[in-house]
């Protein structure tokens, strides 16, 4: 009889536990695992003292902290309702606060550290800029085209109001118009997307006519940046069309205006009213120097800017002013916020425009082009845009199916053809 093979011994596999090292988390320069982290926002009635008191810090110490921190940050007056703060607390039964961190905006933060000695300082979160490209073919409007691709609507605003405001009427785009852009997205702490930072270059083909735009700094001291075409011609005018975004004109410049409240007597309106919600930023429509920043009974809070020997602008009924007399402002800078101060029946900014000392209707003026690029900078500019234009020209449009009656070349014709 044949012998059977001995059964193989049973192999017992041991499970070996692998201990993973805990991931350390750092924020605001602190290792969060060392603390109990409490996050909240400033509420109505909150003060620095109230917040620390309910987190087991006594008032004598609170007073001492506030006194030593006030040269860096006046915590008694600067906390705003709705703004976030973080408390780093001890890992004990009381969870006593050891550090207070306040964030006035997404980028900046204030640290008041009172663990040992008292330290107060301001800092910023790391910012990352990511360059991207986008293309689109208009089938209805530019906002819809961007939305279909999951792109920021701010791209549309920047192209319509900042770059091509004086060369392309975006309310009259045609089906088949197309564009491509090189732009930069901004991120805080690598994770918080804060939107489109800038457009480096753009190409817009409107009614089969090409419009190039390249961003270029013309004054590094004042930080003035303009957009020029491939021949170094400035694309904008010296003035924005309106001092607020998403504008709606509620009352135009009218020297023969009659109002029922005043018995239909002629009461000239020498400004243009742009209706907007309270708190809407008001922008300087051109570069210039602030000559008035004040309050009167009729104007409310107002700002007046001299742009050159010929032109001045004024902005009335502000909720709050953001500039001082003598301050230089650039086109697009926020000089205040829409309000209802002075004689006004609703929230708006009354925009007044002077030419040679006389108030005029800005919409009936042949406004000057922006300052042309200097001869000394023109050569530098043309060299600067050469590689950018090459990159822009070689971005291919994504295929888009349009109506059958559109000619095929509308879809496949390239910008550099």
The answer to whether the beta carbons of residues 181 and 155 sit under 8 Å apart is yes
Q: What are phi and psi of 363, to 5 degrees?
A: -80, -10
The CA distance from 338 to 349, in Å, is 6
For residue 283, being part of any structural domain is answered with yes
Same domain, 85 and 193: no
Average pLDDT of the residues in 65-92: 90
Strands 224-228 and 26-27: unpaired
pLDDT of 57 higher than 90: yes
Average pLDDT over all residues of the chain: 85
* 387 inside domain: no
Give the lowest-confidence range in 136-145, 254-263, 327-336: 254-263
More confident residue, 275 or 257: 275
pLDDT at 406: 44
- The verdict on residue 266 lying in a domain is yes
Q: Tell me if 410 is assigned to some domain.
A: no
The answer on 169 and 77 residing in a single domain is no
Do 49 and 87 lie in a common domain? Answer: yes
* Helix (H/G/I), strand (E/B), else coil: 342: coil
Q: Do residues 31 and 24 lie in contact, with contact meaning Cβ atoms separated by under 8 Å? A: yes
Q: What is the pLDDT of residue 71?
A: 86
The residue that leads in pLDDT, 56 or 151, is: 56
Which of 72, 93, 124 is a domain's end point? 124
Residue 266 and residue 225 share a domain: no
Q: What is the pLDDT of residues 8-45, one digit of tens each?
A: 666 555 555 555 556 678 899 999 999 999 999 999 99
Sole residue written with tokens 């070996």: 16
How far apart are alpha carbons 113 and 378 in whole angstroms? Answer: 52
**pLDDT over threshold 90, residue 255:** no
How deeply is 229 buried, as exposed, middle or buried, from its count of CB atoms within 10 A (0-12, 13-18, 19+)?
Answer: middle
Which whole-number Å values give the CA distances from 357 to 237, 254, 306, 312, in the listed order?
A: 21, 18, 11, 8
pLDDT value, residue 42: 94
Poorest-pLDDT segment among 17-31, 171-185, 253-267, 343-357: 253-267
Instruction: Tell me how crowded residue 56 is: count the other CB atoms within 10 A of its CB.
Output: 14
Same domain flag for 175 and 70: no
CA distance 275 to 339: 10
> Across-strand partners of 27?
30
Question: Parallel, antiparallel, or unpaired: how do β-strands 248-251 and 192-206 relate?
Answer: unpaired
Residue 147 within any structural domain of the chain: yes
Do the domain assignments include residue 53?
Answer: yes
Looking at the fold, whether 51 and 37 belong to one and the same domain comes out as yes
Using CA atoms, how far apart are residues 100 and 88, in angstroms rounded to an integer?
A: 7
pLDDT digits 0-9 by tens, 117-129: 999 999 999 999 9
pTM: 0.65
Q: Please state the domain count of the chain.
A: 3
Question: Average of pLDDT values for 53-69?
Answer: 92
Cα–Cα distances (Å) from 197 to 34, 137, 194, in that order, read 35, 23, 8
Query: Would you say residue 170 has pLDDT above 60?
Result: yes
Last residue of a domain, one of 124, 152, 175: 124
Tell me the C-alpha distance between 327 and 292, whole Å.
Answer: 10
Judgement on whether residues 261 and 337 belong to the same structural domain of the protein: yes
**Same domain as 31, residue 116:** yes
14 within domain boundaries:
no
CATH of the domain at 337: 2.70.70.10
Q: State the average pLDDT over residues 332-353.
A: 92
Clarify whether residues 334 and 310 are in a common domain.
Answer: yes
Residue 237 · residue 368 · CB < 8 Å: yes
For residue 79, the enclosing domain spans 26-124
376 part of a folded domain: no
Q: Report whether pLDDT(257) > 80.
A: no
CA neighbor of 307 nearest in space, from 368, 226, 230, 348: 368
Which comes out higher in pLDDT, residue 140 or 393? 393
DSSP 82: T
CB 307 within 8 A of CB 292: no
List Cβ neighbours of 267 (8 Å cut-off, separation of 6 or more): 257, 258, 259
Percent of the chain with pLDDT over 70: 86
- Is 298 in the same domain as 336? yes
68 and 112 part of one domain: yes
Assess whether 262 and 357 both reside in one domain.
yes
| CATH code for position 37 | 3.10.450.350
Asked whether the predicted pLDDT for residue 85 surpasses 60, the reply is yes
Domain boundary among 108, 124, 140: 124
Question: How many residues appear in the chain?
Answer: 417
Q: What number of H helices and E strands is found in the chain?
A: 6, 24
């Amino acid at each position: 009889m044949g012998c059977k093979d001995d059964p193989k011994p049973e192999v017992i596999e041991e499970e070996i536990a692998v201990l993973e090292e805990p991931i350390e988390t750092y924020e605001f320069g602190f290792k969060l695992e060392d603390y109990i982290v409490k996050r909240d926002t400033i509420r109505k009635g909150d003060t620095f003292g109230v917040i620390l008191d309910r987190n087991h810090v006594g008032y004598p110490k609170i007073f001492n902290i506030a006194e030593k921190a006030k040269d860096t940050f006046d915590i008694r007056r600067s906390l705003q309702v709705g703004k976030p703060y973080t408390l780093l607390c001890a890992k004990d039964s009381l969870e006593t606060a050891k550090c207070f961190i306040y964030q006035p905006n997404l980028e900046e933060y204030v640290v008041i550290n009172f663990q040992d000695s008292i330290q107060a300082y301001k800092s910023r979160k790391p910012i990352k800029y990511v360059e991207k490209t986008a293309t689109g073919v208009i089938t209805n409007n530019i906002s819809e085209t961007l939305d279909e691709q999951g792109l920021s609507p701010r791209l549309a605003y920047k192209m319509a109001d900042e770059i091509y405001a004086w060369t392309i009427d975006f309310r009259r785009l045609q089906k088949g118009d197309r564009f491509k852009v090189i732009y930069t997205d901004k991120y805080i702490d690598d994770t918080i997307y804060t939107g489109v930072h800038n457009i480096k270059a753009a190409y817009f083909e409107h009614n089969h006519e090409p419009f190039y735009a390249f961003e270029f700094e013309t004054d590094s001291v004042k930080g003035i940046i303009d957009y020029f075409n491939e021949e170094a011609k400035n694309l904008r005018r010296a003035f924005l069309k309106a001092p607020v975004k998403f504008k709606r004109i509620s009352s135009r410049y009218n020297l023969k205006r009659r109002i029922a409240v005043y018995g239909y007597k002629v009461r000239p309106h020498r400004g243009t009213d742009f209706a907007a919600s309270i708190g809407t930023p008001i922008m300087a429509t051109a570069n210039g120097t602030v000559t008035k920043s004040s309050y009167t009974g009729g104007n409310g809070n107002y700002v007046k800017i001299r742009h050159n020997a010929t032109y001045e602008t004024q902005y009335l009924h502000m909720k709050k002013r953001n500039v001082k007399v003598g301050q230089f402002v650039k086109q697009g800078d926020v000089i205040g916020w829409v309000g209802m101060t002075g004689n006004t029946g609703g929230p708006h900014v009354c925009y007044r425009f002077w030419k040679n000392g006389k108030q005029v209707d800005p919409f009936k003026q042949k406004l000057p082009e922006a300052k042309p690029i200097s001869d000394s900078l023109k050569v530098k500019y043309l060299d600067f845009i050469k590689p950018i234009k090459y990159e822009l020209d070689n971005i291919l449009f994504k295929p888009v199916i349009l109506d059958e009656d559109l000619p095929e070349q509308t879809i496949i014709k390239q910008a550099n053809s």
